[in-house]
Structure 1
Amino acid sequence: MRDFARRIESATPADRDRAVDALRAIAILGVVLGHWLVTALVVDSGTVHGASPLRYLPGLTPASWLFQTLAVFFLVGGLVGAKSHAGARARGESYGRWLRARMSRLLRPLAVVPVVWTVAACAMLASGVDQDTVRALCKLVWSPLWFLVVFAALTAATPLVAKLHPLWPFAVVLVVDLYRFGLDARGSFAAVNVAAGWLVPYCLGAAWSRGELHSRRTGWTLLLGGAAATAALVLWAGYPATMVGVPGVAVSNLDPPTLAVVTFGLAQCGAALLLIGPLRRALRRPALWAVVATLNLSAMTVFLWHQTAMIAVTATGLWMGGTLPGLHTVPDEPGWVLARLAWLPAFAAALLICRLAFRSYERQRPTRTKSLVVREGRPARPVAARRVQGPSWSLLPGGARHDPNERPE
């Protein structure tokens, strides 16, 4: 392991901003652990359906504050997307070529998911599994992927939104919510917040790329201001306290994003900015950096297949041992939470198997450019690698370089 860590250390460019990779890894892990902890597959009369412990155990609401980390991912996406586009323009690269490179990192790993799950759904139906169960399982896999659609759209719009002030999309969310809740209006117009809500942290990331968010005062302002605004909206404006969707609840903070989840995202972005300095210092350790780099190598695979891993463990448990606590039971008591925590290593093991099976779809195809890459378990050596921004092992949403003249804090 020490040799592996040293190989990654030696292959990492000196100007790579490791803290940005760490923020991306934190965001991915937050989503994965959040889904594993607040999503249950309940077996009832031979049919499997989804449930959430947040509906039965309101005391778990703070877990949604800890594991709903999408704003951090969009912040990093805006930072890296804006830097990448600026670099492409400086090299005289066309928008189409730049966009194809960006989209390939998203779409190539995604393409295999519908193939595998179409085969799986057909096999389940042919073996006699009822349609409601198959529908619930497929929905569990597909529902988190809306995030990739929004991220791809914002990435494609980077040249237009890179210089957009975050207050503009924030104002759109505010107006939509005033009309939606203040006037008790219902309609599809609220879907505008799907783009506007996540455009706020994306624009913050683009501003960060221009050097506008480097002061600690900005971080503290976003953190404290966002937290205070979120608390006020929950306590006095009637917004839900949970920052994720809960089945059976009339209003969701995520579907579409509400003003509360946007202000909560501002607080998360402020916390991320304040963590940059400590993360840069901590990631000077080769062992810690190796963990972050390895996770970034498989970021899309982890995101795309973490629900499949949970489903695989649930199905295996049902086949081998019947109804098991924390796996197939209704999440309506604290004992379910403890049992679910005990199942997390099994979910992680299943996800590792998925990673081994599908990680090749994240690897960049070789071309003429030579660069140094790290291969797990093998010595580093020069190989053909694709000509992309950042080091060849960097992945979604790309490599960020640290300005050596920028203050670490």
Structure 2
Amino acid sequence: MTVSSPLRPTSAPDVAVTKPLRIRRLPSPTPAPSVATTMTVARLAALTGTDRDRVIDLLRLVSLIVVIAGHSIMLTVAVSGGRVDLGNLLGDVPALQIATWLLQILPLFFFAGAAASTYGWRAAPDGRRSAGHWLFARAQRLLRPVFWYLIVVGVVMGILAAVGDSAVLDVVARLGVQLLWFLGAYLMILAVVPLMQRIDDASTLVAAVLGCYAVTAVMDLLRLTTGAQEWGYVNYVAVWTIPALLGVGYAKRLIRPFIALVVALGTLAMNVVLVTAGPYEVSLVTVAGQKFSNMTPPSLLLAGHAVVLCALAVASARALARIVARPRLWWWVALGNRGAMTLYLWHLPMLALIIAGGMALGFDRSPSAPGYGWTVAGETVLVLIVMIPVVGVLSRLENTPLRWWDGARAASTSPLRDAAVWTLLAAAGLAILMVARFGLIDDGLRWLAIGVFCVVAARLLTAPATASAGQGR
């Protein structure tokens, strides 16, 4: 059996812990409650308080649900002669590509993450505001569930290798880690969040956003004129920094809602011009056969789309705050956020199992099959329902600290050591991005080794001098 796939992930969840100023945090993650044994609505509302910025949590969870639904809707599966082809509905039906302007909500994760990180930076004691120390604290929470996920992927790959199923092994090695690309990009953007804290007025914020936008435009011009897509790699930082900057501006109340609405509408009009009169494709996710991708690497159109989404989030923040203030809804949002990484990492494996089971029962995922629309709709709803107990069980791994990785950190550190930690974690972000690109084969394995080295070295540099040896036992 052979398998091919042009599918690319459209988005991923923000996993930074929202830690607004003067907020009572959610209960300690040890032990982590499952969905089935969680606290009552009233107790959860009392523990989280009313001064928490719940809009950030709402954006995170809703965006993640849209991501899962989008992946399910777009995925097509065709089986013929022992060959399994994974495709993208947007390639089969180009008229649907405009829907990505609604479904591509990845910028909101960077927006929410930077806003949450800004709250956390402000709340941190002065002695813990060094960039490297702060970034490692974020990385501890971000990478913990990934360790477990990679262990499971490795075990599955070992079993497939033992039984000699090379075709499925190749799929798992490549697609099993494809969604991790977000973690790499996100970790690299988190690395510059401390620098963003110097932005204290609207004019500086506007200058920073326009600077990133201009860099993106130049890189796109070089891609178009030289044909070298490598120029676009700079845009992984330039484009994703834009929603992060707007998230910082939101958290610091530097953007007025009315101005945000005007910016959103004006930028949307500009995006339409880029598509109708410029060289840009309509689809905001990668589709097979594209001449100029807006996603890999990110383009000026995606940068503008990020501005539109984030500006609309700022403009609607007050209305969203009233909605999420409802205790029952907040119960779901808060608990969903505690398992956000679990929801993100495991939704594709669960979707694969549901599709495989459906095909065994005669429900064909090929666009030309009778009842295709009903099959996709039913399986999309099913995967969302199934993920509730899955998150309830597996989120324990996400919220239970690992003895060595989550052990005590040094109360203070030298500037040189702090800079080394920052550099190692930024390099780890790049390594994760490359693992997602190449898969767990050849170059991907080498990048994985580099990433492991970086995070281990960063942990050793942040451990208290007297505890380093003992925590390793």
- Name which of 224, 235, 240 aligns with 1:193: 235
CA distance in 2, matches of 1:92, 1:309: 39
Give 3-state SS (helix, strand or coil) of 1:255's partner: coil
Equivalent residue number for residue 143 of structure 1? 178
Within the alignment, does 1:229 sit opposite 2:270 as a pair?
yes
Change (3 A) 1:77 1:259: same
- Name which of 169, 172, 176 aligns with 2:212: 169
- Name which of 352, 363, 366 aligns with 1:324: 363
CA distance in 2, matches of 1:210, 1:363: 29
Change (3 A) 1:345 1:294: same
1:243 maps to a residue whose letter is L
CA distance in 2, matches of 1:324, 1:128: 28
1:359 maps to a residue whose letter is S
Task: Name stretches of at least 5 consecutive residues in structure 1 with no aligned partner.
Answer: 368-385, 388-409
Equivalent residue number for residue 461 of structure 2? none
* Identity score, percent: 29
Change (3 A) 1:56 1:134: same
1:232, distance to aligned residue in structure 2 (A): 0.8
**TM-score, normalising length: structure 2:** 0.71
- Name which of 95, 118, 124 aligns with 2:154: 118
Per-residue CA distance 1:109-139 (angstroms, 9 max, x = gap): 11111111121123234345342x3323443
Change (3 A) 1:44 1:130: farther
CA distance in 1, matches of 2:271, 2:374: 29
1:279 maps to a residue whose letter is L
1:191, distance to aligned residue in structure 2 (A): 0.7
CA distance in 2, matches of 1:246, 1:190: 17
Q: 69-78 or 114-123: which moved more? A: 114-123
Change (3 A) 1:113 1:355: same
CA distance in 1, matches of 2:153, 2:390: 13
1:156, distance to aligned residue in structure 2 (A): 1.9
CA distance in 2, matches of 1:230, 1:334: 37
Equivalent residue number for residue 60 of structure 1? 96
How many residue pairs get aligned? The number is 362
- Name which of 17, 33, 36 aligns with 2:69: 33
Within the alignment, does 1:266 sit opposite 2:301 as a pair?
no
Task: Name stretches of at least 5 consecutive residues in structure 2 with no aligned partner.
Answer: 1-35, 200-204, 410-473
Equivalent residue number for residue 398 of structure 2? 362
Give 3-state SS (helix, strand or coil) of 2:40's partner: helix
Change (3 A) 1:300 1:199: same
CA distance in 1, matches of 2:57, 2:370: 35
- Name which of 175, 180, 191 aligns with 2:223: 180
Within the alignment, does 1:209 sit opposite 2:244 as a pair?
no
Contact persistence 1:220–1:270 (CA under 8 A) = yes
Q: 63-72 or 135-144: which moved more? A: 135-144
Per-residue CA distance 1:183-229 (angstroms, 9 max, x = gap): 2431412111111110111111122222211x122221231022111
- In angstroms, what is the RMSD of aligned CA positions? 2.6
- Where do 1:299-310 residues align within 5 Å? 299-310=340-351
2:220 maps to a residue whose letter is D
Contact persistence 1:88–1:94 (CA under 8 A) = no
Equivalent residue number for residue 401 of structure 1? none
Contact persistence 1:245–1:252 (CA under 8 A) = yes
Equivalent residue number for residue 110 of structure 2? 74
- Name which of 190, 193, 206 aligns with 1:155: 190
CA distance in 1, matches of 2:291, 2:173: 23
2:213 maps to a residue whose letter is F
Change (3 A) 1:124 1:248: farther
1:333, distance to aligned residue in structure 2 (A): 7.2
CA distance in 2, matches of 1:332, 1:192: 40
1:292 maps to a residue whose letter is V
Contact persistence 2:363–2:375 (CA under 8 A) = no
Equivalent residue number for residue 15 of structure 1? 51
CA distance in 1, matches of 2:385, 2:65: 15
1:42, distance to aligned residue in structure 2 (A): 2.9
CA distance in 1, matches of 2:145, 2:105: 21
Change (3 A) 1:198 1:332: farther
Contact persistence 1:242–1:253 (CA under 8 A) = yes
CA distance in 2, matches of 1:155, 1:256: 19
Contact persistence 2:258–2:315 (CA under 8 A) = no
Per-residue CA distance 1:356-396 (angstroms, 9 max, x = gap): 342112215499xxxxxxxxxxxxxxxxxx99xxxxxxxxx
- Where do 1:40-55 residues align within 5 Å? 40-55=76-91
Per-residue CA distance 1:86-123 (angstroms, 9 max, x = gap): 33254655444322221111100111111111211232
2:302 maps to a residue whose letter is V
Contact persistence 1:83–1:209 (CA under 8 A) = yes
Q: 27-36 or 49-58: which moved more? A: 27-36
- Name which of 351, 370, 380 aligns with 2:387: 351
Contact persistence 2:115–2:251 (CA under 8 A) = yes
Within the alignment, does 1:88 sit opposite 2:124 as a pair?
yes
**TM-score, normalising length: structure 1:** 0.81
Contact persistence 2:286–2:294 (CA under 8 A) = yes
Change (3 A) 1:191 1:337: farther
1:249, distance to aligned residue in structure 2 (A): 2.6
Equivalent residue number for residue 139 of structure 2? 103
Equivalent residue number for residue 399 of structure 1? none
CA distance in 2, matches of 1:78, 1:92: 18
Change (3 A) 1:107 1:200: same
